[in-house]
């Protein structure tokens, strides 16, 4: 592959994913397996998390570098107290055009109204199965999918634009692809299928556990007529399809079978203030240390620019069974999805 397409100077910095907390109320096999993240796991103390004021300051700096889109994630971001205050602050930043939040949906019945009132309009909600026993096993808490579905309905009634994300793992939940499609097709809710990825080093990933986009398509095309949709913007990760006469689309996130490293426009900020250039990175640049040592906005701009311009990561292009197993990677609870 021609390395020139990875010239970072030619690629815009458009998106910032911010993990606001490193813990979750699920213990799912995908990013926080209960064997590792048990009830006694030592998460970060509050003092080590970026404050809302620090996050808002960084968002303002990133906006000067071209960032237009912010996504709040975790862990589970709704576990961070008074999250609506951060959303209100971000909405005051010039240049930010879109703010979204990724959640497992468990606490939406308690917080969705406050989030909406603060200006949030888009939600990505994780749901990996409709079968009650299977979903309870996958989330590690015995939580029924009906509870998440009720919260999705509630959020939709409030006016949120919703996408549902389903991580598909072979031998676990691939039989749920069709039921999930059948359920959401009439709700004007976009369903996105995500190939099982080797995020972190704790989820037991292997190629044998991946259900590829092509394999999912083969299932779906037996029932639906799927028409590819043109990319909405440069760097869009999901590959979308329209199906039959339904308004909603389905999407595929194909980090394993069809990588998109060459068009990546994202940086990721962990809950403890480290800046990562890739979901599969091992190390991050410590922005919290700069903030708390009194760095000026210009010094932060220069540091972030250097990180972006010098990035060479293309993990999904270079992934092998060996690197997936042996290369150290930051856990998704810290870096966010």
Ligand-binding site membership of 141 (annotated) = no
Ligand-binding site membership of 8 (annotated) = no
Q: Token digits for 241?
A: 């399809």
Ligand-binding site membership of 266 (annotated) = yes
Ligand-binding site membership of 115 (annotated) = no
Strand partners of residue 169: 210
Distance CA 122, CA 98 (A): 8
Ligand-binding site membership of 305 (annotated) = no
Ligand-binding site membership of 28 (annotated) = yes
Ligand-binding site membership of 31 (annotated) = yes
Ligand-binding site membership of 259 (annotated) = no
Distances (CA, A) of 280 to 179, 183, 304, 315, 319: 31, 32, 19, 7, 10
Ligand-binding site membership of 101 (annotated) = no
Ligand-binding site membership of 71 (annotated) = yes
Which residues does 220 contact at the CB level (< 8 Å), separation at least 6? Answer: 177, 178, 181, 226, 243, 250
Which residues does 61 contact at the CB level (< 8 Å), separation at least 6? Answer: 297, 300, 301, 304
Ligand-binding site membership of 197 (annotated) = yes
Ligand-binding site membership of 116 (annotated) = no
Ligand-binding site membership of 261 (annotated) = yes
Ligand-binding site membership of 29 (annotated) = no
Closest by Cα among 131, 141, 138 to 29: 138
Alpha-helical (H) ranges within the chain are 52-64, 83-91, 108-117, 132-139, 145-158, 177-184, 213-220, 287-292, 297-309, 315-318, 321-326, 332-335
Ligand-binding site membership of 121 (annotated) = no
Please give the annotated binding residues for [4Fe-4S] cluster, written as ranges: 24, 28, 31, 261, 264, 278
Task: Write out the binding residues.
Answer: 17, 24, 28, 30-31, 71, 75, 102, 126, 163, 197, 261, 264, 266-268, 278
Binding site for GTP: which residues? 17, 71, 102, 163, 266-268
Residue positions in the annotated binding site for S-adenosyl-L-methionine? 30, 75, 126, 197
């Amino acid at each position: 592959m021609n390395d020139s397409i990875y010239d970072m100077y030619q690629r815009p910095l458009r998106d910032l994913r911010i993990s606001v907390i490193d813990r979750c109320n699920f213990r799912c096999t995908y990013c926080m397996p209960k064997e590792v993240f048990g009830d006694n796991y030592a998460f970060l103390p509050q003092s080590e998390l970026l404050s809302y004021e620090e996050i808002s300051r960084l968002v303002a700096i990133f906006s000067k570098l071209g960032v237009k889109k912010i996504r709040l994630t975790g862990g589970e971001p709704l576990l961070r107290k008074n999250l609506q205050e951060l959303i209100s602050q971000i909405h005051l930043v010039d240049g930010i055009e879109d703010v979204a939040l990724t959640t497992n949906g468990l606490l939406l019945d308690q917080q969705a109204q406050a989030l909406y009132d603060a200006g949030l309009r888009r939600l990505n909600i994780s749901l990996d199965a409709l079968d009650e026993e299977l979903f309870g096993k996958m989330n590690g808490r015995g939580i029924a999918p009906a509870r998440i579905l009720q919260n999705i309905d509630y959020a939709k009634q409030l006016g949120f634009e919703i996408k549902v994300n389903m991580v598909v793992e072979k031998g676990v939940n691939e039989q749920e692809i069709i039921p999930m499609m059948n359920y959401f097709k009439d709700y004007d809710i976009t369903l996105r299928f995500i190939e099982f990825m080797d995020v972190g080093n704790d989820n037991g990933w292997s190629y044998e556990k991946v259900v590829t986009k092509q394999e999912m398509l083969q299932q779906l095309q037996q029932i639906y007529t799927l028409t590819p949709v043109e990319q909405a913007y440069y760097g869009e990760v999901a590959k979308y399809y329209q199906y039959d006469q339904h308004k909603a689309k389905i999407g595929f996130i194909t980090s394993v079978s069809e990588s998109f490293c060459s068009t990546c426009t994202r940086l990721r900020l962990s809950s403890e203030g480290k800046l990562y250039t890739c979901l599969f990175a091992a190390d991050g640049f410590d922005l919290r240390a700069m903030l708390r040592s009194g760095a000026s906005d210009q010094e932060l701009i220069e540091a972030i620019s250097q990180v972006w311009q010098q990035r060479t990561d293309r993990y999904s292009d270079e992934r092998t069974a060996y690197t997936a197993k042996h290369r150290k990677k930051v856990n998704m609870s810290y870096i966010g999805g």
